[in-house]
Amino acid sequence: MSMMKRTPFFKILIANRGEIALRIMRTARRLGYGVVAVYSDADRDALHVREADQAMRIGEALPSQSYLRIDAIIAAAKASGAGAVHPGYGFLAENEDFALACRDAGLVFIGPSPESIRAMGNKAGAKDIMLKAGVPCVPGYQGADQSDAVMLKEARKIGFPVMIKAVAGGGGRGMRLVADAAVFPDALRSARSEAQGAFGDPTVILERAIVDPRHIEVQVFGDRYGNAIHLGERDCSVQRRHQKLIEEAPSPAVTPKLRARMGAVAVDAVRSLRYEGAGTLEFLLDPSGEFYFMEMNTRLQVEHPVTEAITGLDLVELQLRVASGEPLGLVQEDIKFSGHAIEVRLCSEDAGHDFMPQSGRMALWQMPGGVRVEHALQSGSEIPPFYDSMIAKIISYGTSRDEARGKLISGLEQTAAFGVTTNQGFLISCLRHPAFARGEATTAFIGNHRAELLAPRTDDKAEAALAALLLYATHPQAPAWRSGRSLAAAFPLTTRIDLGQAVHEVDIVRERDGGYLASFAGGEQRFAIDELGCDTIRFRTNGLMESARFLRDGDRLYILHRGVTTDVRDLTLAAPVSAAASGGDGKVRAAMNGRVVAVLVKPGDKVAAGQPVMTLEAMKMEHVHTAGVTGTVSAIDVAEGEQVTTGKIVVEIEAA
């Protein structure tokens, strides 16, 4: 104990936002630390701000960059009296300049040293270190010459398909899978642009694309006394846009023997670096059982709760103890694994439209019981367009994988997220899919099964009929619902309902026996209401009694029925939709709130329908907008760097 090098602190500033900040606050408070939050103007009323002991404003004009302002965060820590800074698990957690600035300011950085971040936080440097250590790595190019010609030459040498990956950061930013040489230049430009915007560094590396692998990561911890352990692996194979959606521990594909091999490699790397704190080594596991090092994340991961569930350890607590100078207090033999845990990332995105991010007001937000939920929202919260689309993590634990999977499906079915489109239904489809249920999902899972996972509802007319029933029964001018027979004469109400895939016309009327008849093209459906509350309905149809949650919000009706949230637009009194919505009028409109990062055409250019004309960044991802018609560009209505709202005209084209 006399040899311990303590760095005590009593108050922690958390340099992150949302559920990340709340998660760290929870453990910090349990251990007796004071907590300070930081916020941008967009987050002034956010839950993490209200929950902290103190909160410091750090940004104004461009909220997406506020949480990356090192000088502002250091100043906030000094002003609040914090003695330590926890970077959360965002980009600053892997920023050596930030770790060094904390050290120079006399603040404890709750994470690895700047030297370790420099060594392993850069993908190119990390691969060089691992190659020298004899760790198998994915073949590729990580040279200093970043010219377009050299990059294309090296890509041809590696052989297509290749991966372009930003050397800094993670989270799928600056990453592109390129199938052939013809599209390589455009993919390279896009990856560099996204990397520059996310990390301030456009440098990329190239890697051979391993076909149909699993994405396996190993959680490690080290302390300043040379102790190092691993906490097993996580399987993060279910991804879209190279970003994880579902993670689990342990991996269905990793045997105890393979776990020991991968864990030994990871621990050797930690010891060689004299690494302090939490880290994750990421590997690709090919179908033959061979694994290849990809990168090391020098931070705590979003998916750490599944590791906590099967080990019984609080990983944030370990971080705080190590940062204060305590030894780990654990050896590898102390780590025991029990049961199975699965996490899903609930994101504000439209899975049916290429996972396009969504922002706006969350009219109703109610999370399920019986599972662990990490979130920072409440009913009425605004989801801004500046940050990541993940709005909650839902984690289940069971003695077996099937038990954990079942609990998670049940939890998602009870989740009420009304007002902003989420991937809730898509996650349920993934968890229910036979390939996932058998533990066979690889990184190709979503691509291989996309049509099945996004299959349109087969009972859309039944859903339209239920929507019509709710619109009728909750209409402001309708008589209050009462059970039993109705003696009053009733007239049918014709409703036009948009379920997102199609518009339905439904006639609905209350009959004298107290029931309701919904008539639509090709059939009819009878309902009996047993109970109608302000946000729930219990009803019977075709001999089956069911219940649903709902919310009326202007011309919108949100229904949670059979685990699926349906966003219904009441078009009964709406004007007809014009061709403008599809761009058929020659006007390209912003598909979401976001920032213009590239205008790809200029007035007078000839363009073809489907040709890229503008790139918009929303929720840290780039989205290319294309021409709706063939013709000549007549006007550019935005400038690079401009923040635009959904529906704004950005490019005008005079049709040929």
Looking at the annotation, which residues are catalytic?
299
HSE toward the beta carbon, residue 404, CA cutoff 13 A: 28
Report the alpha-carbon distance of residue 359 to residue 619 in Å, rounded.
9
DSSP state string for 74-121: HHHHHHHT-SEEE-TTSGGGG-HHHHHHHHHTTPEESS--HHHHHHHH
**SS3 call for 377:** coil
Q: In what order do the strands lie in the sheet with 631-636?
A: 587-589, 649-655, 631-636, 606-607
What DSSP assignment string belongs to 10-76?
SEEEE---HHHHHHHHHHHHHTT-EEEEEEEGGGTT-HHHHHSSEEEEEE-S-HHHHTT-HHHHHHH
| Residue 449: other Cβ atoms inside 10 A | 18
Helix/strand/coil percent split, the chain, to 5: 30, 35, 40
What span, in angstroms and rounded, lies between the C-alpha atoms of 413 and 95? 38
Alpha-carbon span 533 to 548, nearest angstrom: 11
Structural element, H or E, at residue 507: strand 503-510
| Residue ranges of E strands in 302-424 | 340-347, 349-350, 356-357, 360-361, 364-366, 372-375, 382-383, 390-398, 416-418
Distance CA 617, CA 389 (A): 12
Measured CA distances, 519 to 280, 381, 465, 543 (Å)? 57, 37, 8, 18
Instruction: Note every long-range contact of 519-528, with CB atoms under 8 Å and residues 24 or more positions apart, other chains counting.
Output: 519/492, 520/461, 520/464, 520/465, 522/461, 523/461, 525/461, 525/462, 525/465, 527/465, 527/466, 527/469
357 φ/ψ sector (left φ>0, alpha ψ -120 to 50, else beta): beta
Contact 283, 218 (CB under 8 A): yes
Radius of gyration of the chain (CA): 27
Q: Specify whether the CB–CB gap between 22 and 47 falls below 8 A.
A: yes
Give Cβ neighbours of residue 365 (< 8 Å, ≥ 6 apart). Answer: 377, 378, 379, 381, 416, 417, 418
Overall residue count recorded for the chain in this entry: 656
